Amino acid sequence: MNSAQIRSSERALSVGMWLIVGGAMLYSVLTVTPLMAAHTPTAWRWTAPILPIVVDAAVVIVVRLDSVLARLGGHGGPWPVALRWMTGAMTLALNIGASALAGDLVGVAIHSVAPLLLIVTAEAGLAYRRAITAAVRALQAEQRAEAQARSKAVEDREEARQRRVRERRDHEASLAREQREHEARLVREEADRQDRIRREEQARADAAAAAEREARERREREREQAQAEREQAERRAAQQRELEARQKAERERQARAEQAERERLEREREQERIERERAALLAAGPPAEKLPEDRARAVVQAAFAAGLAVRVAAELTGWSVGWASTRYQELRDANVSTVQALG
């Protein structure tokens, strides 16, 4: 049996099982629903089909997962077996319940056909699938063994062919090597003769080259001597230029230092002047009346620079504390902006 026939058998088994399962489920729902409706409160009779549907759904799960495990060659342990028998027993009990309560033995026998058929079909289908899986694996192992045997035969034939090719190639290589050795011997003899001729010509060329080299070396020495004299003169000129540059740089440095000193003295004199003006503004004391705004601003700036309180600045200008506080804040903001710009 080939793989196509095995797949056809599996399809037939699967289709048959699902037909039996579907028919049993439909028959079970139609049989159990009246029993559930008779034993359910009137307001909840619409829920009568739920229980048979749940039990039949468990049957579907068991059948489907058993088929998957059988194909994979696995075993789910005792719980799948318990679920199969429990769902089968529940389906059987629900189907014959109405007839058993009525004492109808014929009804019990009739309504037990579908559940018993479903239980036996599930067990038989599982056994069939396991047997088919074992047969498929045996067939696959046999096919792999045959493929390995064919591959080994092909490898042996290829190895024999490569060995024959290698032997023929070695024989041809031996003949070619002997031919090359003969040709190489002739080439060496010709090369020796040409080498003797080249050595004689080389000796004559070496003599001419020695004379030419001696003349060239003499010219080179004369040129190097002239070059050394020029380089010495250039070094003396460079040293003179470097000395002049250092002297010039020193003069410029002294000039910059004198300029910096003059600027420092000017800044100190300017600072002294500002300090005198500031001291004069602060020494004037509280005025009899409010100072003009430009002079009041100068007094506030002097007070801010001296670190005086806002109230003191207000008293020295005759203006309000709020106005003096606003001028202080403007001076602080100006100082912050200056610091940020310098940073």
73 CB neighbour count, 10 Å cutoff: 11
Across 43-52, 84-93, 305-314, 324-333, least confident range = 43-52
Show the tokens assigned to 320: 């309000």
Q: Is the pTM of this model over 0.85?
A: no
Predicted pLDDT of residue 338? 74
User: Is the model's pLDDT at 20 over the cut of 80?
Assistant: no
User: What number is the average pLDDT over the span 28-38?
Assistant: 68
Torsion of CA 318, 324, 328, 331, to 10 degrees: -70
Which structure tokens are listed for 18? Answer: 């699902």
Q: Classify each residue of 243-273 as buried b or exposed e, where b means 16 or more C-beta atoms within 10 Å of its C-beta.
A: eeeeeeeeeeeeeeeeeeeeeeeeeeeeeee
Minimum mean pLDDT among 29-33, 196-200, 210-214, 320-324: which range?
Answer: 29-33
Give the pLDDT confidence score for residue 318 in this predicted structure: 80
**Tokens read off for 278:** 């500031």
Q: Residue 124 and residue 89: Cα distance in Å, rounded?
A: 17
- Could you give the percent of the chain with pLDDT greater than 70? 66
Q: Which residue has the tokens 């599982």?
A: 126
pLDDT on residue 96: 76
Measured between alpha carbons, how far is residue 188 from residues 7, 176, 179, 200 in Å? Answer: 77, 18, 14, 18
pLDDT tens digits, 102-135 = 777 777 777 677 677 777 776 666 666 666 776 6
DSSP state of 103: T
How many Å apart are CA 260 and CA 237, to the nearest integer? 34
Instruction: Give the integer Cα–Cα distance in Å for 239 and 231.
Output: 12
Mean pLDDT of the chain: 77
d(CA 283, CA 302): 11
Per-residue pLDDT for 84 more than 80? Answer: no
Looking at mean pLDDT, say which of 57-61, 67-71, 283-287, 295-299 comes out highest: 295-299
**What confidence tens digit (pLDDT) does each residue in 207-250 have?**
888 888 888 888 888 888 888 888 888 888 888 888 888 888 88
User: Residue 209 has what pLDDT?
Assistant: 87
Tell me how far apart the alpha carbons of residues 167 and 162 are, in angstroms, rounded to a whole number: 9
> Phi and psi for 43 in degrees, rounded to 5?
-70, -20
Label residue 64 exposed, middle or buried (CB < 10 Å: 0-12, 13-18, 19+).
middle
Could you tell me what percentage of the chain is helix, strand and coil, using 3-state DSSP and rounding each to the nearest 5? 90, 0, 10
Q: Is the pLDDT of residue 2 over 60?
A: no
User: Looking at residues 143-152, what average pLDDT do you find?
Assistant: 83
CB 52 within 8 A of CB 33: yes
Single out the residue of 1, 18, 94, 16 nearest to residue 54, CA to CA.
94
Place of tokens 């003295």: 265
CA angle 265-267-271, nearest 5°? 115
Helices (H), 284-320: 293-306, 310-317
